[in-house]
Homo-oligomer: A and B are copies of this chain.
Amino acid sequence: MRVVITGGGGFLGQKLARRLLDKGTLAGPDGRQTEIGELILFDQVTPRPIADRRVRGIPGDVADAKQIANLITPATASIFHLASVVSAGAEADFDLGYRVNLDGTRNVLEAARATSAKPRLVFTSSIATYGGGLPDVVTDETPQRPETSYGTQKAIGEALVNDYSRKGFIDGRSVRLPTITIRPGKPNKAASTWASSIMREPLQGEDAICPVTPETPMACLGPRRCVENLIRVHEVAAEALGSHRSTLLTGIPVTAGEMEKALHRNAGNRKLGRVIWQHDPDIQRIVDGWPKATRSDKAAKLGMEVQPDVDTMIREFIEDELTTG
């Protein structure tokens, strides 16, 4: 079977690809484990090569309906639709955000529908779909009232995935991701970027700036568990999802101050860089509007994984990203 990952060049797409190649199979259209014969990584620029004969990188534009129709062939049994303009990008360029995050998602859904093969499709939504006077813990019953274009586009994507699934055009599943931390790589323009950098940089001996107060919590999930959950939600039987195809993922609340403390507990013999507290009221205001914690009974029932604590998040990052061999 052919598997397509849009956004296959991103850190999550790459991590998912490697995990899928290790695993070797996915639930096919009949529900039975089927060999992954071909894994297509689609992204704006040709994704970083993975040395595996099954992998092919294809550069392209998700907002180009023709390209996507060519990408998603009738042999495509599974699609992981991760491609999107991130929050700050969609906020800065309104038209680009809608082009990629809404039109792009519609292109993927239409191409999947056109195959008549009812592929499984996993869509990564976000807890940015929540906003506006949130409870302390966001649950399955919290209404989505996004306060950014990115959150709006992700909520719309979920609604579309649900409707295309209900009509039998695809077998779709959406997950609302908490803040994924610790991300490898460099800081980006996301208002949440500090939640990775204040751990990632010090672990590599560099200082990092934290623009929010130490008391500021984030709803966190580590990349390793995130990838396991993307695969898990792909594998569960459609009936287990209930009438609505979206699942919130549980994100444990970790404050910036707790992240800093946990660094010291888990640094081993590394010489840590410092966290420099340099308040930025604009970022604080944005972050204060986000869920501080999420808890999904549905995710738990579906067997989704959660990091028990920030220490585990740090240890997994060290194992996955800083340990060679």
A143 CB within 8 Å of chain B: yes
Chain A 139-167, CB-CB to B under 8 Å as 1, else 0, gives 00111111101001001100110110011
Q: Which residue of B lies closest to A159 (CB)?
A: B152
| A243-B133 CB under 8 A given contacts A166-B147, A167-B94 | yes
Q: Find the residue from A133, A141, A155, A159 having the highest chain B CB count within 10 A.
A: A159
Interface residues of A in 87-140 (CB under 8 A from B): 94, 131-133
**Interface size on A (CB < 8 Å)?**
24
- Identical subunits present: 2
Whether the Cβ atoms of B141 and A143 lie closer than 8 Å is: yes
A15 CB within 8 Å of chain B: no
Whether the Cβ atoms of A132 and B167 lie closer than 8 Å is: no
Whether the Cβ atoms of A144 and B147 lie closer than 8 Å is: no
Whether the Cβ atoms of A143 and B146 lie closer than 8 Å is: no
Whether the Cβ atoms of B160 and A152 lie closer than 8 Å is: yes
Whether the Cβ atoms of A146 and B131 lie closer than 8 Å is: no
A244 CB within 8 Å of chain B: yes
State in angstroms the CA–CA spacing of A216 and B159 once bound together.
Answer: 28
Q: Smallest Cβ distance from A108 to chain B, in angstroms? A: 15
| A142-B143 CB under 8 A given contacts A94-B167, A133-B243 | yes
User: Which residues of B sit under 8 angstroms from A244, Cβ to Cβ?
Assistant: 132, 145
Q: Which of these, B133, B163, B242, contacts A132 with CB under 8 Å? A: B242
User: Which residues of B sit under 8 angstroms from A163, Cβ to Cβ?
Assistant: 146, 149, 152
State in angstroms the CA–CA spacing of A91 and B20 once bound together.
Answer: 37
User: Which residues of B sit under 8 angstroms from A162, Cβ to Cβ?
Assistant: 145-146, 152
State in angstroms the CA–CA spacing of A287 and B107 once bound together.
Answer: 32
Interface residues of A in 156-207 (CB under 8 A from B): 156, 159-160, 162-163, 166-167
User: Which residues of B sit under 8 angstroms from A167, Cβ to Cβ?
Assistant: 94, 149
Whether the Cβ atoms of B132 and A243 lie closer than 8 Å is: yes
State in angstroms the CA–CA spacing of A173 and B62 once bound together.
Answer: 31
What are 18 residue pairs bridging A and B, where the CB atoms are less than 8 Å apart in the complex? A131-B243, A132-B242, A133-B243, A143-B144, A145-B162, A145-B243, A146-B162, A146-B163, A147-B166, A147-B243, A149-B163, A149-B167, A152-B162, A152-B163, A155-B159, A156-B156, A156-B159, A156-B160
- 4 cross-chain pairs, A with B, having the tightest CB-CB distances, nearest first: A152-B163, A143-B143, A132-B243, A145-B244
Known contacts A146-B162, A152-B162, A159-B159; 9 additional CB pairs below 8 A are A132-B244, A142-B143, A143-B143, A145-B162, A147-B166, A147-B243, A152-B160, A156-B159, A156-B160
